[in-house]
Amino acid sequence: MEKNQTNKSKRTRKKILFNLVGFLGLVLTSISLGVKKFQDYHQDFQTDHFGTRENPAYTVNKSINEQDTETYSSFYGALYEKRIKDLEIALREYKSDPKLKSNLEQLLKQINDEDQRLMEEYQLVFLRNQDNQLNADSENNDSVAKRAKTLFLSMTGKEYPPEIKLRLGRPIINGEEVQGGYQPTKRRITVYPSNFEDTLLSSMHEIGHSIEAHTKDRLFGNHSYEEQLMSEASAYCFQNASCYFEDPKTRKLMLQTHRIELFEDVMLSSRGRKDYRIEAMILSDAATTHFGNPVTAFQYLQKTPYRELDPDILHLMQRNKSIFLRQNQLKTEAENILRAPGN
Ligand SMILES: [Zn+2]
């Protein structure tokens, strides 16, 4: 468990938009070429790739079957809310009549069994993601890039922008190994190869960055935390949406990886971990719950400024974090009662 957590944290999806080297390169280039050239570049970049914030050049324009959409609220949230209710009742009954301890014991066993099953699934996906690793050779590069571009066409109805290069490699950004990165100034996506489905998911995440409006805002001066958060949340929605355009087998494997990443992020956030990528995953999930599917959520997040976010989405984020925390508190309380001397 400890080992898994250590390994897992090493492979935590760390999507960094701006490679410091790339950014410094842009600054130096703009100085050496002069402001006029930079303005030309600015103009060119604005018009040929992104479109405008109000009218993005690319978006997901195919709908998916909303009944298939799985979110934290629908998967873990529903489970935890039921547990919270059951634990509250069992604890109340035990406190009024300690003879009812066996009910509490039984409930706790049932919860632990469920957690065990979830943990086994988590480990299976984790192990699968460790196995069947792709190499960054040209054959794998071509097969991932080809599949990602086909997926892009299915999602947006448009050909993948040929000026954005997609390749497998080992993205190291500021000395930190990450799963992928999009460098807008180089118009290049680099994805660290894992197994096929995971690599495809990472590719779609970075492609999401290449078409959402927050990337452009950040490239041209808006480096606020909120813009970073919106950019990341948009990319998570795009990766999530992409799963639904795959064949059933690939979809299942991609969705499992996405869900486990989400579960881990809610858990880490509830434990006080501060990281915009974790917040962004929770935000993308809340937006998906709010709209009922990741496609509409992406269309909304890709162009909405943080300050205009629907309050219901912010409320859902808090709620998902707090139900996780609440069920943990109640579970610990029950465990402590049963462990206490005399019990
Ligand atoms: Zn990202």
How far, in Å, is the centroid of ligand 1 from the Cα of 267?
19
How far, in Å, is the centroid of ligand 1 from the Cα of 337?
43
The pLDDT assigned to 220 comes to: 75
How far, in Å, is the centroid of ligand 1 from the Cα of 13?
8
If you average pLDDT over residues 130-154, what whole number do you get? 91
| Contacts of 54 by beta carbon, 8 Å cutoff, 6+ apart | 303
The pLDDT assigned to 18 comes to: 36
How far, in Å, is the centroid of ligand 1 from the Cα of 323?
26
Q: How far is residue 259 from each of residues 89, 129, 156, 236, 313, measured CA to CA in Å?
A: 30, 14, 23, 11, 19
Q: Which helix (H) or strand (E) holds 180?
A: strand 180-183
How far, in Å, is the centroid of ligand 1 from the Cα of 339?
44
How far, in Å, is the centroid of ligand 1 from the Cα of 91?
42
How far, in Å, is the centroid of ligand 1 from the Cα of 189?
11
312: its two tokens? 């219901």
pLDDT over 90 for what percent of the chain?
Answer: 51
- Give the highest mean pLDDT range of 6-20, 37-51, 127-141, 316-330: 316-330
- Give the highest mean pLDDT range of 37-51, 235-249, 251-265: 235-249
Pairing of strands 172-173, 165-168: unpaired
How far, in Å, is the centroid of ligand 1 from the Cα of 138?
24
Q: Residue 183's beta-bridge partner residues?
A: 188
How far, in Å, is the centroid of ligand 1 from the Cα of 209?
7
How far, in Å, is the centroid of ligand 1 from the Cα of 205?
6
If you average pLDDT over residues 237-244, what whole number do you get? 96
The pLDDT assigned to 172 comes to: 73
> What is the overall mean pLDDT for the chain?
83
Q: Which helix (H) or strand (E) holds 183?
A: strand 180-183
The pLDDT assigned to 25 comes to: 47
How far, in Å, is the centroid of ligand 1 from the Cα of 67?
27
Q: Which amino acid is at 31?
A: I
Question: At 270, phi and psi to the nearest 5?
Answer: -65, -25
The set of long-range contacts for 270-275, using a CB threshold of 8 Å and a minimum separation of 24, is 270/321, 270/322, 270/324, 270/325, 270/328
Q: Residue 191's beta-bridge partner residues?
A: 168, 180
Cα 177 from Cα 173, distance rounded (Å): 6
How far, in Å, is the centroid of ligand 1 from the Cα of 329?
32
- Give the highest mean pLDDT range of 127-131, 219-223, 274-278: 274-278
Length of the chain: 343
Region of poorest pLDDT, from 6-10, 30-34, 247-251, 279-283: 6-10
Q: CB–CB of 241/60 below 8 Å?
A: yes
The pLDDT assigned to 103 comes to: 93
286: its two tokens? 């809340």
Pairing of strands 165-168, 15-16: unpaired
Residue 329 has pLDDT above 90, yes or no: yes
User: If pLDDT is split at 50, 70 and 90, which confidence band does 106 have?
Assistant: very high
Cα 324 from Cα 270, distance rounded (Å): 7
Query: Of 68, 37, 45, 19, whose CA–CA distance to 220 is shortest?
Result: 45
Query: Sign of torsion, CA 7 253 205 264?
Result: negative
How far, in Å, is the centroid of ligand 1 from the Cα of 132?
24
Neighbour tally for 66: CB within 10 Å: 12
pTM: predicted TM-score of the whole model, two decimal places: 0.82
Region of poorest pLDDT, from 39-43, 84-88, 210-214, 269-273: 39-43
Query: Sign of torsion, CA 137 141 144 147?
Result: negative
Cα 333 from Cα 165, distance rounded (Å): 53
Residue 17 has pLDDT above 70, yes or no: no
How far, in Å, is the centroid of ligand 1 from the Cα of 253?
20
Task: Write the pLDDT tens digit of every residue in 175-186.
Answer: 777 889 998 888
Query: Of 219, 230, 183, 259, whose CA–CA distance to 16 is shortest?
Result: 183
26: its two tokens? 């842009």
**What are the residue ranges spanned by the domains of the chain?**
2-72+130-338
Cα 192 from Cα 189, distance rounded (Å): 10
How far, in Å, is the centroid of ligand 1 from the Cα of 130?
21
Residue 231 or 7, more confident: 231
Region of poorest pLDDT, from 67-71, 149-153, 276-280: 67-71
How far, in Å, is the centroid of ligand 1 from the Cα of 50?
17
How far, in Å, is the centroid of ligand 1 from the Cα of 239?
10
Cα 261 from Cα 206, distance rounded (Å): 16
